[in-house]
Amino acid sequence: MAEPRKSDHHGFYVKATAASVTVLVGFASLDRHWTLASLISLQPLRFALLFLAFLISEALGALSDRSDRLRLIDTESWTFLFAMLLLAPSTLLIVAVGAIRTCIELAKRKAYATAWYSGLSIAMSLAVGATVLHLFGIFQGFATAGTLGRTDVMGLVVAAEATALTSGVLRSVYWSNTRGSSLLLGVRNEATETLLADSVLLLLGVLVVALGLEGWVFVPIAVGVALAIQLGAMHALESNRARSLDPLTNLANRANFELQIEAYIQEAIRRNVKFAVLLIDLDGFSEINDKLGVNVGDSTLRAAAGRLEASKRPSDLVARLGGDEFGFLAYDVESSGDIEAIAQRLRRKLSEPLDVVGCPVAISGTVGVAVFPEHGSNANDLMRRSDVALFRAKQSRAGVVTYLGDREKFQAGRFSLLADLREAIGTEQLYLVYQPKVDLATNRVDGLEALLRWDHPKLGLIAPGEFMPLAEQTELMRPLTTWVLETALTQCSRWHRGGIKVGVAINGSAKNFHDLNFPETVAKALRISGVEARWLEIEITESTVMADPTRSKLILEQLRELGVSVSVDDFGSGYSSFSYLKNLPITTVKIDSSFVTSMNDDINGRAIVRAIIDLARSLRLTTVAEGVETQEVLDSLRVMGCSMAQGYFILKPALAHDVTRWLRLDVMDRTSVNELR
């Protein structure tokens, strides 16, 4: 696998040390007539107060910084350092400050290299600023008489900006070297964020010294004002950075991730390399949340974030995009084999055994990949296409899928359809139609099946078979089922208030029967609508049950405890139907329409229908024949002893107001109503 451009870390620190020594020696040549002791003696009390403020400021910065990196602001104590520099412009002072910073970083258990470089960078930055002050001839008059000439203000501003710029460049050099990236990318990520704050804090040092020279009693006031402003600047920068981080995992958030993609694009163009955008979805996370609670779920997300972070190379980036989805930027990849190796490494790391607050947790990851420049020239395209690949990976259970380019157009259309469906929930685009189930013994309507329809604003009517499989593969199935459930029960409540006592049935999905909270969702919808549980039926298919028989049985038992009826839809089309009849808490069997429609012309089909009816009767289950399209089939079902029938001959699926009108007709008149068929 291709590695990122390697950094010679040993050589980097040697060069940084040599550069710092060179700058300090250069300043010392200007400073050779001044000694630290003689300068301090001019303003001993003021210098002591400033030095104390410097230590306090460093301590505050140390408490707020917990990462193994350079400070957010290169030093929070710029104000007091610059003030001390104005009072005592000595090489010894600069070296002492650098040594103090290094010791403070080591005391926080930072890496030796990080601590050393932090001390070097502050010393070099101050030396550059002090050199500018010397060149403008500001030092002696300011330190002894506290006066500023006409050119002194300009010199102070230039010195402050030179110090801030040097600090920013050194931070950028450190960032780019540790990541094997370019200095330009380092400047974009590090220097630009803190340059203004550094400049303000440095110039504030002039104010502190100016007030202090009016009398030593003003020094505490000046220090207090400076500390307040400094803390405000720190808080503002921390807040700004926090907006780009995910609060749970401390990784980059979605907005930051997309900005970094744009930065990687510029870098990749400059170096003529490729990089990959990987979207990672945790499999089974919703089950952890449902079974073990939100606290364990949050701990699992943090553990997953830590594993992904530990798996990245220096030039890579990890982000949490929301929920259980993570982003990963794999920089400088040469081939699809490199990308596959990275993705599989991440999946292996995620799937390692995990113990969260004493609970054994098992997770895995599904990965969708898009590559720059093949699959997009901007962050939006790369994110969208990696999301398409992720959707296909989850649908096919392939683990890792890369976007197919032009061959992915159909999948992209499906992905767009899924996005439209998400927007359609709760709008008039989605609506329910109802098809009655008639009791063959009494010719009365026993209940109505609620069927979902989607009238897309651009594509028109879309069959459920086109969009429901898409929803089934995503978390969208939960809100969609909840909407159908609440809408159907609300309509059922209207019928009851109008004197029409009928029940409603909705179709449950495999996603619902993987969700241990589904029974509570049903109970809540019943409470909201005021409908008794006995008027609701949940229809499931054999494939739904077989996806996870143990969990499905548990959820079905909870639904039956609520008083909700459960029916097996499309019975007979599976391969293990009979073995499940005796084990599942079901009340009804719906005979698949493929056997019913042509049963009078197909001897085998007729035999299957009769066998299912006889078996259900022996198990005391109700039978519903689907797909009844003729009077002859209806009559045959009555002779066989089928309980109920449903089909176009009785009534096509219709809107609630049309069904209401049909329900109010006399029993004998319903069979002659043609306009609704």
The model's pLDDT over 90-133, given as tens digits with 9 standing for 90+, comes to: 788 888 888 888 888 888 777 777 788 888 888 888 888 888 88
CA distances from 504 to 147, 295, 562, 564 (A): 89, 37, 16, 11
pLDDT of residue 9: 56
Percent over 70 (pLDDT), the chain: 72
Domains of the chain: 9-242 (no CATH), 254-403 (3.30.70.270), 419-669 (3.20.20.450)
Give pLDDT, residue 660: 93
pLDDT at 74: 46
pLDDT band at 580 (very low <50, low <70, confident <90, very high): low
Say yes or no to pLDDT of 240 above 50: yes
Query: Between β-strands 445-456 and 460-462, what pairing exists: parallel, antiparallel or unpaired?
Result: antiparallel
> For position 254, what pLDDT does the model report?
86
What value does the mean pLDDT of the chain take? 78
What value does the mean pLDDT take over residues 555-578? 78
Which of the pair, 595 or 203, is modelled with greater confidence?
595
Evaluate if residue 573 carries a pLDDT over 50: yes
Spatial distance between the Cα atoms of 169 and 416, rounded to a whole number of angstroms = 44
Cross-strand partners of 367: 280, 400
* pLDDT at position 3 over 60: no
Q: Are 27 and 131 in contact (CB under 8 A)?
A: yes
Assess contact for 539 and 567: CB atoms under 8 A. Answer: yes
In this predicted model, what pLDDT tens digit does every residue of 593-643 receive, in sequence order? 888 988 888 888 899 899 989 988 888 899 999 999 999 999 999 999 999
**Residues β-bridged to residue 176:** none
pLDDT of residue 33: 46
pLDDT in tens, 643-662: 999 999 999 999 999 999 99
Are the C-beta atoms of 639 and 614 separated by less than 8 Å? no
Highest mean pLDDT among 320-334, 485-499, 560-574: 485-499
80's tokens: 């007091």
Predicted confidence at residue 489, as pLDDT, reads 96
CA atoms of 542 and 546, how far apart (whole Å)? 6
Helix and strand element counts for the chain (H, E): 28, 16
Distance CA 676, CA 461 (A): 19
Q: Are 569 and 594 in contact (CB under 8 A)?
A: no
**Which residue's entry shows tokens 């700004």?**
240
Torsions phi, psi of 245, nearest 5? Answer: -115, 150
Q: How many CB atoms are closer than 10 A to CB 321? A: 21
Mean pLDDT of 281-289: 76
Predicted local distance difference test score (pLDDT) of residue 509: 82
Confidence (pLDDT) at 219? 56
Query: What pLDDT shows up at residue 69?
Result: 45
**Least confident span in 171-185, 242-256, 342-356, 609-623:** 171-185
Phi first, then psi: what are they for 440, rounded to 5°? -75, -15
Question: What is the pLDDT at residue 472?
Answer: 76
pTM over 0.75: no
CA torsion sign for 475, 481, 486, 491 is positive
Tokens of 206: 């002039």
C-beta separation of 174 from 117 below 8 A = yes
Closest CA to 285 of 327, 248, 323, 317: 323
Cis omega before residue 653 (within 30°)? Answer: no
Q: What is the mean pLDDT of residues 542-562?
A: 78
Q: How far is CA 90 from CA 20, 55, 537, 647, in A?
A: 15, 18, 86, 96
Of 65-74, 471-480, 616-625, give the lowest mean pLDDT range: 65-74
Mean pLDDT across 222-234: 62
pLDDT at 72 over 70: no
More confident residue, 28 or 6: 28
Model confidence at 167, pLDDT cuts 50, 70, 90, reads: confident
